[in-house]
Structure 1
Amino acid sequence: MSATTAGAAAFRPLTLADVRRVAESVTDPEMPMLTLADLGVLREVELAGSGAVRVTLTPTYSGCPAMATMRDDLVRVLTEAGVAEVEVRVSLHPAWSSDWITEHGRARLRAHGISAPAPVRPHAGPIPLSLLPTRRELVCPRCGSARTELTSEFGATACKALYRCLACGEPFDHVKEI
């Protein structure tokens, strides 16, 4: 058997499951302990008959500055896996919800000292606007104490707030409920 024949025998086209597995491995550029799948922004992966791949993302909010990096990372890893053509689409509907973060993702956040968001309360109608600080019921991801205080509504990224634990004194990020 020639080297060319052996190489051809080893080649197998990527399946949708293969492509999805590769896309699900891409990490979030702002919270690299999470994959895009764990964060819930990876919405759909489609394989066209021509071998092209279409990936649909829903950003955590419409102005998310990490979307360009997410797109570039998806194109890079899928191309490295053998996909010849990758299209990344952004879908704003339905709007992302922090409820889309997987249980695995929530555990990874806590393991990295970041407070995971609580479940979002359903709204029937318009969301009331309040200029008062948002009161969240959360626990310190380091010691588990509920004795926490808001330090800043604006953390390292727009989707996080900064808190301090009154029991252990440690600061920590909290992923905002959306």
Structure 2
Amino acid sequence: MTAIVWSELATVLDPEIDISLLDLGVIRSIEIDGQSITIVMAPTRTACPGVHEMKRRVIEAVHRAVPDANVEIKWKIGIWNPSCVSDRGRKVLQSAGYIVAEEGVSRPLTCPYCSSVKVRRDGDFGGSVCKTPFSCRACGSTFDLLGADQCVSCRGPRDILQIASPPR
């Protein structure tokens, strides 16, 4: 039964970004005890507005696998960080125009579309506080840095933002 539940959970997409919650590192674990299934999840930021929709989608997925299951969602707040994103998730995010912050990395930020280092930070936060908007001076594309230092759950990748930030 565990494999069937994991398989269904792999189909659950984040409500904001077209990536599975597993690849994003939001779904952390499952515990099965008979017909009771507990899913442990960690939102990408404290007070994430998508938690109710994520919960609904996860419960729906579990019920596809085990229709009579009693599903409980447990939230672990503040434990998500960019390193939780899987390698596959990083590729999916990059193809969608996101770069995932990497703690302790001191190399320049590159455009996910053309790989240029000629990028400019366009503000302190984008569509949510976990996104920092950038634009590429080489190809003109815009993209977001996901898991930046403004995100309450994310601590540490400030060096990325300092390198890529324009002089003030």
Under TM normalisation by the shorter chain, which class is it? 0.7 to 0.9
Question: What amino acid sits opposite 1:16 in the alignment?
Answer: T
Q: Distance in 2 between matches of 1:169 and 1:19?
A: 42
Aligned residue among 27, 31, 34 for 2:13: 27
- Find the counterpart in structure 2 of residue 67 from structure 1: 51
In the TM superposition, what is the alpha-carbon distance from 1:156 to its structure 2 partner?
1.7
Q: Distance in 2 between matches of 1:74 and 1:24?
A: 10
Contact in 2 for aligned 1:53/1:83 (Cα 8 Å): no
Contact in 1 for aligned 2:134/2:145 (Cα 8 Å): yes
Q: Distance in 2 between matches of 1:68 and 1:18?
A: 23
- Find the counterpart in structure 1 of residue 163 from structure 2: none
Question: What amino acid sits opposite 1:175 in the alignment?
Answer: L
In the TM superposition, what is the alpha-carbon distance from 1:152 to its structure 2 partner?
1.4
In the TM superposition, what is the alpha-carbon distance from 1:162 to its structure 2 partner?
0.8
Aligned residue among 128, 138, 143 for 2:114: 143
- Find the counterpart in structure 1 of residue 87 from structure 2: 103
Aligned residue among 103, 107, 116 for 1:120: 103
Contact in 1 for aligned 2:81/2:147 (Cα 8 Å): no
Question: What amino acid sits opposite 1:31 in the alignment?
Answer: I
1:170 lines up with 2:141 in the alignment: yes
Q: Distance in 1 between matches of 2:131 and 2:93?
A: 12
Q: Distance in 2 between matches of 1:137 and 1:66?
A: 31
- Find the counterpart in structure 2 of residue 127 from structure 1: none
- Find the counterpart in structure 2 of residue 40 from structure 1: 25
Q: Which has the larger radius of gyration?
A: 1
In the TM superposition, what is the alpha-carbon distance from 1:111 to its structure 2 partner?
1.2
Structure 2 gaps of 5+ residues are: 149-153, 155-168
CA RMSD of aligned residues (A): 1.9
In the TM superposition, what is the alpha-carbon distance from 1:136 to its structure 2 partner?
8.2
Structure 1 gaps of 5+ residues are: 1-14, 123-134
Contact in 1 for aligned 2:99/2:112 (Cα 8 Å): yes
- Find the counterpart in structure 1 of residue 161 from structure 2: none
Question: What amino acid sits opposite 1:28 in the alignment?
Answer: D
Q: Distance in 1 between matches of 2:47 and 2:3?
A: 31
Contact in 2 for aligned 1:36/1:42 (Cα 8 Å): yes
Contact in 2 for aligned 1:52/1:83 (Cα 8 Å): no
SS at match of 2:4: helix
Count of aligned pairs between the two proteins = 148
In the TM superposition, what is the alpha-carbon distance from 1:171 to its structure 2 partner?
1.4
Aligned-pair identity (%): 29
- Find the counterpart in structure 2 of residue 132 from structure 1: none
Contact in 1 for aligned 2:98/2:143 (Cα 8 Å): yes
Q: Distance in 2 between matches of 1:121 and 1:64?
A: 25
Contact in 2 for aligned 1:29/1:66 (Cα 8 Å): yes
